[in-house]
Structure 1
Amino acid sequence: MTWIEYTALGVSLLIFLIGLASAVLPIVPGNAVVWMGVVVHKLWMGEASVSWKIVILTGLVTLFSLLVDLLLGYWGARKFGASWKGALGALIGAAVALFIPPPLLWLIIGPIIGAVVGELAAGRNWRAGSKAGFGTILGSVLAFGVKFGLSLFVIGLFLLDLVV
């Protein structure tokens, strides 16, 4: 390998690490950052990189994981009895929490508050709201597992195609 190949691989691996670290956060598209590492390497290295088939396949996996990330928080709230207002409140709470420091703390609390407020707006009681909030946490934990696992899958496909 030449120094330019080592540099391109190093930059891609750094992007992968940033993506994996941000995959921990709900709603933050860490897996899209991981995919950008694949795209950057392909654009930088051209034919010496992975095939376009791998770039497209990893892009589709990334789109799937983004969709799953959005839907699992909603699913968790609904599974524990949230109304559509409670589930929507959880999504809005997660989105608003991105902008409140410290974001990691609020990304956990925001969806819970959103679900509870949504349930109260739907005319339900605190108990229903807290169940919806718990469901949101469960959905977010499952979403993290899926996002992180699919990000590792994308990195694995990239490295496998690069070596072979």
Structure 2
Amino acid sequence: MITLAWSLVILLFVVGMVGAVYPVLPGVLAIYAAFFLYGWLVSFEPFGWVFWTTQTLIVIIIMVADYAVSAMGVKKFGGSKAAVIGSTIGLIIGPFVIPAFGLIIGPFLGAVIGEIIIGTKWQKAISAGIGSVIGFFASSAVKIVLQLAMIALFFIWVF
């Protein structure tokens, strides 16, 4: 049972880390679920209120930062709310339409199209698209660091 538990926990950690850059995977929630899975299959004993409070705060920070950092990238490059919405839609749809490069092209095109729809000039729309890509990479970096911290804290508490 221990081997199965650890295999599933590690699988959820991998899904979580891949989800840090691939938005259709649950990301941080997979990592959070791994903690519960470990508790149910092995033991909740190592985890106290400090562990759960810390991990829950990190989950909330990641969820808020994911949107906020991406939006800041778009806005920093002159994008409007339409570009933020467009880049978010592009980020979700892009990987399905263009599997290899959809994570980059999707948000870029989404932001550009969002700006064009509201009548923005091409130069500013392209700038917003570039901001969306930079925001995506910055958001992914933040998620990766914080999710690795969650996993590290798990191992510290367990061992």
Q: TM-score, normalised by structure 1?
A: 0.86
| Number of the residue aligned with 2:149 | 153
| Number of the residue aligned with 1:22 | 19
User: Equivalent residues in 2 for 1:111-122 (5 A)?
Assistant: 111-122=107-118
Describe the SS at the equivalent of 2:43.
helix
Which one of the candidate residues 69, 78, 81 is aligned to 1:81?
A: 78
| Number of the residue aligned with 1:110 | 106
Describe the SS at the equivalent of 1:46.
coil
Q: Percent identity?
A: 28
Output the amino acid matched with 2:72. W
Segments of structure 2 that go 5 or more residues without pairing to the other structure are none
The 2-side partners of 1:26 and 1:80 are apart by: 22
CA RMSD for the aligned pairs?
2.0
The 1-side partners of 2:12 and 2:20 are apart by: 12
Describe the SS at the equivalent of 2:47.
coil
The 2-side partners of 1:68 and 1:28 are apart by: 17
1:124 and 2:120 matched = yes
Q: Contact (CA 8 Å) 2:76, 2:131: kept in 1 or not?
A: yes
Describe the SS at the equivalent of 1:127.
helix
Distance 1:72 1:29, change over 3 A: farther
Distance 1:47 1:22, change over 3 A: closer
The 1-side partners of 2:60 and 2:40 are apart by: 20
How many residues align structurally?
Answer: 159
Describe the SS at the equivalent of 2:147.
helix
Per the TM alignment, residue 56 of structure 1 is displaced from its structure 2 partner at its CA by 3.9
Q: TM-score, normalised by structure 2?
A: 0.88
Output the amino acid matched with 1:57. T
Segments of structure 1 that go 5 or more residues without pairing to the other structure are none
Which one of the candidate residues 91, 96, 111 is aligned to 2:93?
A: 96
Per the TM alignment, residue 40 of structure 1 is displaced from its structure 2 partner at its CA by 1.0
Per the TM alignment, residue 38 of structure 1 is displaced from its structure 2 partner at its CA by 1.2
| Number of the residue aligned with 2:33 | 36
